[in-house]
Structure 1
Amino acid sequence: MTIDELLTTTRSVRKRLDLTRPVPMELVRECLEIALQAPSGGNRQGWHWIVVTDPGLRAQVGDYYRRSVRAYHASGTGAGSLFQDDPVRAATQRRVSDSSAYLGEHMGDVPVQVIACIQASGLPEGNQAGLWGSVLPAAWSYMLAARARGLGTAWTTLHLAYESEIAELLGIPADVRQGVLIPTAYYTGETFKPAPRQPLDEVLHLDRW
Structure 2
Amino acid sequence: MPSRPLILGISGASGMIYAVRALKHLLSTDYTIDLVASRASQQVWQQEHGTPMPTNIDQQQDWWRKQADVAAAGKLRCHAWGDVGASIASGSYRARGMIVMPCSMSTVGKLAAGLSSDLLERAADVQVKEGRPLVVVPRETPFSLIHLRNLSALAEAGVRIVPAIPAWYHQPQTIDDLVDFVVARALDQLAIDCVPLRRWKEK
TM-score range, shorter chain: under 0.3
TM-score (norm. length: structure 2): 0.25
Structure with greater helix percent: 1
> Which of the pair has more CA radius of gyration?
1
